[in-house]
Structure 1
Amino acid sequence: MFFLPSHNRLLLLLFLVLYVVFPTSNSSLDAYFYAGAVKYGEHLFLPHHLLYNSTCYLLTLPLRLLGAGVDVLSLLKVLNALFAVLCLWVLTKILQQLQVPAAAIFSWLLVAGASFGVWRFATENEVYLLPLIFSLGASYLYVRYSRQPKKAFLVVSGILAALACLYHQVQFFWWLGLLAGVLWQCRSIGAFVAFALPALLVPVGYVLVVVFYLQQPVHLQHLLTFVFHDFTTGSAGTSVGLLNFTLTGISLVRTFVQVHGLMWHLVSQSWFWILPAMVSGTLVVFALLKVPLFSTATTTASVHSTGKIHLLILLLHLGFAWFAVGNAEFMVMVPYLLPLVLWNRVNAVVIRYAGLAMLVWNFCYGIFPAYYFNLSTSKELAQRVKQQPEALFVLQEANAVRNLYYYIYGLEDVPTVLKSPAQLAANPAALAALANQLHSHLQTNPEVPILTDCVQKQTILNRAFFVTEDFNEQFFQQFGTATADSLATFYGKHYLHILKTKAGQATANHLK
């Protein structure tokens, strides 16, 4: 595959098959929205990842023109599988430039490709892998320049690093790390300009979108509002507190291996699910007992410097992920960066066995359950919203249901789907407005039901469990509730309740 040794080609082919054959059946709320945007040709330029939707729109256009039966979401998952494998391919080329032994390259590819943080996005329609192709490409050309100082390598490296930022703003830290490397290693104004000047592509790209797509005047305020939209609106959550440390540690572990409350449910249903843990544990123990953990490989000064630069990039990304309350999505680059930092320090045999253990663990506890089981009620609730267009729905995953509704039916504004009290807890005014809206609806439209899945819900140990305090039970004490229906998932039954006033003005009969 693109001039790689046969064993590496086979490994990349294996990952491509695994990524494509076992996509998630439980997509994220963002995945539904991006798929809807591509499907309907809307929201093609979003500020946080400016070029992702438009690129996917163009890449899928030929197949979508063949007929309306093309499932855009599935097609986008295949694209992300290809993006993940392309990242592995570019990583291989970098390691070859660093003259890493073939056995070590194979081992590190196995770890990177089998890491849960990579695998989960390789089977989903998310925005994090496509920009990594450009960032890794920038690093490849930077390494080429360090071995053969041609300014053209730096110019193209700067172009790719800038394009990566246009595909996702978090790649700014990769660009910044490479820029620091240029200043440290080259100590040349010409080299600095060659790498830094292409960064002008980023503001130019945003200006072009504001002028020609949004059709707004180029005022600094408009531009800054658009560029930093996700941060100013809270979509990209950031804060500083004890939770930053706790969740950063958890997310860093989950970047490599799946850790989730789902695993307890698997084992509780069948002891068979202990076997993958036994196999993975045996592989790790066997490796540690058989060979020394650390390597004694020697490297040249330029290779050593490359490792330091990518260590800086790694720390910059981890620092921002910490600031974003341990957001695992901002750690997807870690498995690709780690080989560039540690390849000559850790024994390749240990890495190979660790990669095999991760392959077994993550497939059995992460990828296969997400592919095979129904872990969410979003699909059923979106259908229920369609069937009962006048009813109000107060839902735990309101945004996921709205975005799925948009993807399926093409309607983005679904005013009958309301966020749960837990989602509004940080905004007392919004919480009070929700209570007033529900009370008013019960008094003025008692024949039109209000349904919620926020009462008697399943407890699942995931990120949301730790970062959001559940105000739902307390909030709904001001209403009467009656069980209206149940929705089956892998975790058990999720109940839909109908709200009523304490006087009983609404009853479950309204569902009939």
Structure 2
Amino acid sequence: MLSAARREWALILLLTLLVLLLPTRNSTSDAWYYAACVRHGHDLLLPHHLLYNAVGWLWLQLLGPLGPDALAALLALNALAYGGVLLGLRGILHQLGAPSALRLALLLLAGGSFGLLRFATENETYMLPLLLSVLASGSWLRYLRAGRAGALLAAGGWAAGACLLHQLHAWWWLGLLIGTLVYAPHRRAVRWFLAPALLIPLAYGLALAYWQLPLTPTALLRFALHDFVSGSAGAPASAAKALLLTVANLVRSFAQVHGSTLALVRRLPWLALVPLLGLVGVVWAWRRRSRSASAAGAESTAPPTLLRAAGRTHGLILLLHLGFAAWASGNAEFMVMLPVLLAVVLTARPRLYPQLPATPLLAAGAALLAWNLAFGLLPSHLLDYTNLAPLLRRVQQEPGTWFLLDNHNLALNRLHYLTGRDGQPNVLPAPALLAQQRHWRPAQLQAWLRAQQQAGRRLSTDALGGPQLLDRARLLQSNADAELLRGFHQQRRDSFPTFFGPRYLTDLR
């Protein structure tokens, strides 16, 4: 029989191996862009996540003798960071003194949640800063336990580093700062926590030199807040859509629910057994739970004052992150840390332990992991959702054709990764988005398209027909392409098979 510590280590190792072995083959447009920047060594300091590309570039240099593909190397880095997050969470749960069986269950629930699994298998910017924030919380708790200034300095340093990897983690940093103000036993504690934050303006100041911008307060502020000033970060959805997306993506932070889910079940009906068997397992575990064992394990070894500080501080951090995600139209990417924070908050409430028996929680964690493997990681690893490669070859072979593409950023960034050139003149957004970007009325868009035809340009689009899976983009943007192109003769000239059905390339005449 393995000891509690060995069971936890074994679980973390198993989950880390899973994400290392199951990287996505359907990377997002942002993931391709970051990989292109790292591969070709440019745009290494970007405002919203200042050091992410720079860290990726250093990682690629470290692996240089192995000659890895840049995207594959970055996917592996995020998978290893995921393992580090779980190790850091394990340390926090130990400091909070939860029973061993409950620790194991909470590690499985957090590690098996879709939010963490998704970004552990993708080259996005969310796993590395989460690792540093978890390390910051671990150091912060060690300070509260022992009162050593070095631990609080480390907490401030980790939290500042997380902000430099992604500005989103300013909320975690702010929560720890408020927790320090309220619960620190020393008067100078806030200064110790704040001191490493001086690295943030210093790093942004150095980034101004990298971009050959003047070192002035105005330039510094505009660069640091670039995504907000430019309008690329914000809340474009209506309040109703933002609420709907917040609820949906809060669920997706734990279990993958997407337009692809029903499509997968229709194509592979046996997948319906996964939730059914998971539910049976949870019910069985609940019926066989031992109330006496739960009660016996309900004592925490941590001081009540530490539990109160940890629970309230991390509850505040959870609310800050959730509120910001809701403001950003329910952005699922901004909720990746919620399962980790929830595990900390639950551990800091020992009165809940008898109501949270470990065996049913462990069964729920296993069922959650099975669901997310069946409907998330495995399909994303095994299936090609877009089959974009043949279309990209056409784009390169036909410079005289305007390609109005449904996901033009994905095409542009994959070409950027392949060629090292940022931009492809003949790739444009699909008609509805093109009109929106240029503030055109339908008649203006149609007149522009006619003018391109008269100038000898061939017009092709993949925005007509093909699979229509419901996702965040579909909810935020109505699919008006067919209506805008109603006056054009449409002739399909190619199709690209995907698991969810063929995508078509249609000429407009």
State the TM-score, normalizing by the size of structure 2: 0.93
The equivalences for 1:333-348 within 5 A come to: 333-343=337-347, 344=350, 345=352, 346-348=356-358
Partner of 2:424: 414
Structure 1 residues 99 and 425: alpha-carbon distance in aligned structure 2, compared to 1, 3 A threshold:
farther
Aligned match of 1:290: 288
Shift of 1:387: 2.1
Q: Give the equivalent residue in structure 2 for 1:41.
A: 41
1:281 to partner: Cα distance: 1.7
The answer for the alignment partner of 1:306 in structure 2 is: 310
Shift of 1:292: 8.2
Asked if 2 retains the 8 angstrom alpha-carbon contact of 1:425 and 1:471, the reply is no
Paired residues of 2:95 and 2:141 also in contact (CA < 8 A): yes
What amino acid does structure 2 have at the position aligned with 1:348? A
Residue equivalent to 1:26: 26
**Post-superposition shift, 1:436?**
4.2
Compare 180-189 and 15-24 and name the one that shifted more: 180-189
Instruction: Give the structure 1 partner of residue 492 of structure 2.
Output: 483
> Could you say which residue in structure 1 is the equivalent of 2:385?
375
2:376 to 361, 366, 369: 366
The Cα offsets for residues 230-260 of structure 1, whole Å up to 9 and x where unpaired, read as 2222322324611111111100100000101
For the 8 Å contact 1:379–1:404, the answer to whether it is kept is no
Q: How does 1:396-407 map to 2 (within 5 A)?
A: 396-407=406-417
Quote the residue 2:363 is aligned against.
Answer: 353
Q: CA deviation at 1:295?
A: 6.7
Amino acid at match of 1:230: D
- Could you tell me how far apart the structure 2 residues matched to 1:55 and 1:107 are? 32
Distance of aligned partners of 1:361 and 1:66 in 2 relative to their CA distance in 1, 3 Å threshold? closer
Distance, in Å, in 2 between the alignment partners of 1:426 and 1:319 is 28
- String of CA shifts for 1:389-438, please: whole Å, max 9, x gaps: 22110011000000001011112111211011333464462566654442
Secondary structure of 1:450's match?
strand
Of 445, 449, 455 in structure 2, the residue corresponding to residue 438 of structure 1 is: 449
**Counterpart check, 1:238 vs 2:242:** no
What is the match of residue 154 of structure 1?
Answer: 152
Q: Equivalent residue of 1:218, what SS? A: coil
Q: Which amino acid aligns with 2:392?
A: A
Counterpart contact for 1:162–1:199, Cα < 8 Å: yes
| Aligned residue type for 1:246 | L
Give 1:508's aligned residue.
Answer: none
CA deviations over 1:432-466 (Å, ceiling 9, x no partner): 66544422110111xx4211011123211211221
Number of the residue aligned with 1:252? 250
DSSP-derived class of the 1:492 partner: coil
Q: CA deviation at 1:189?
A: 3.7
Larger displacement relative to structure 2 (166-175 or 302-311): 302-311
Secondary structure at the counterpart of residue 199 of structure 1: helix
Matched, 1:449 2:458: yes
Q: How does 1:58-73 map to 2 (within 5 A)?
A: 58-67=58-67, 70-73=68-71
**Alpha-carbon distance, 1:478 to partner:** 3.0
**1:27, CA displacement in angstroms?**
0.5
In the other structure, the counterpart of 1:321 is 325
What stretches of structure 2 of length at least 5 have no aligned partner? none
Distance 1:84 1:449 in 2: 46
**Hey, what's the Cα distance between the residues in 2 that align with 1:171 and 1:292?**
40
Cα separation, partners in 2 of 1:275 and 1:167, compared to 1, 3 Å: same
Alignment of 1:8-27 (within 5 A): 8-27=8-27
User: How far did residue 169 of structure 1 move?
Assistant: 0.3
Structure 1, unaligned runs of 5 or more: 501-512
Aligned length: 493
Offset at 1:72?
A: 0.9
Comparing 320-329 with 424-433, greater Cα deviation is found at: 424-433
Q: Give the Cα separation in 2 of the matches to 1:119 and 1:236.
A: 24
Contact 1:321/1:331 (8 A) holds in 2 = yes
CA distance in 2, matches of 1:35, 1:377: 19
In the TM superposition, 1:159-174 aligns within 5 A as 159-174=157-172
Hey, what does 1:194 align to over in structure 2?
192
Aligned to 1:497: 506
Query: Compared with structure 1, are the counterparts of its residues 468 and 187 closer, same or farther at alpha carbon in structure 2 (3 Å cutoff)?
Result: farther
The alpha carbon displacement at 1:187 in A equals: 6.4
Pick from 331, 336, 339 the counterpart of residue 335 of structure 2: 331
Give the AA of the match of 2:490: T
Structure-1 separation of matches of 2:432 and 2:185: 53
1:127 pairs with 2:125: yes
With over 3 angstroms needed to count, the CA separation of the structure-2 counterparts of 1:162 and 1:383, relative to structure 1, is: same
Contact 2:90–2:107, Cα closer than 8 Å, also in 1? yes
Contact 2:390 / 2:496 at 8 angstroms: preserved in 1? yes
Contact 1:481 1:498 in 2 (8 A): yes
Which amino acid in the other structure matches residue 88 of structure 1? L
Structure 2 distance, partners of 1:8, 1:142, is 22
Report the alpha carbon displacement of residue 289 of structure 1 after superposing the two structures with TM: 3.3
Q: Which residue matches 1:470? A: 479
TM-score by length of 1: 0.92
Note if contact 2:92-2:137 (Cα within 8 Å) is conserved in structure 1.
Answer: yes
Q: 1:227 aligns with which of 224, 227, 235?
A: 224
- In structure 1, the residue matched to 2:202 is 204
Q: Is the 8 A contact 2:35 2:71 kept in 1?
A: yes
> What is residue 102 of structure 1 aligned with on the other side?
100
Q: Which amino acid aligns with 1:291?
A: R
Contact 2:446-2:485 within 8 A present in 1 as well: no
Partner SS state of residue 502, structure 2: strand
Amino acid at match of 1:43: D
User: Is the Cα contact below 8 Å between 2:88 and 2:131 reproduced in 1?
Assistant: yes
> Retained in 2: the 8 A contact 1:279–1:360?
no
Does structure 2 conserve the Cα–Cα contact (< 8 Å) formed by 1:390 and 1:416? yes
**How far has the Cα of 1:113 moved from its partner?**
1.1
In 2, distance between residues paired with 1:89 and 1:489?
38
Distance of aligned partners of 1:65 and 1:26 in 2 relative to their CA distance in 1, 3 Å threshold: same
- Shift in Å at residue 380 of structure 1? 2.9
Determine the C-alpha separation between the residues in 2 that align with 1:383 and 1:203: 43
Deviations 1:153-172 (A, max 9, x none): 11111111111000000000
Percent identity between the two aligned chains: 39
Q: What amino acid sits opposite 1:480 in the alignment?
A: H
Could you tell me which residue of structure 1 aligns to residue 213 of structure 2?
Answer: 216
Mean alpha-carbon deviation: is it higher for 33-42 or for 480-489? 480-489
Alignment CA distance shift 1:121-1:4 (3 Å): farther
Distance 1:287 1:106 in 2: 15
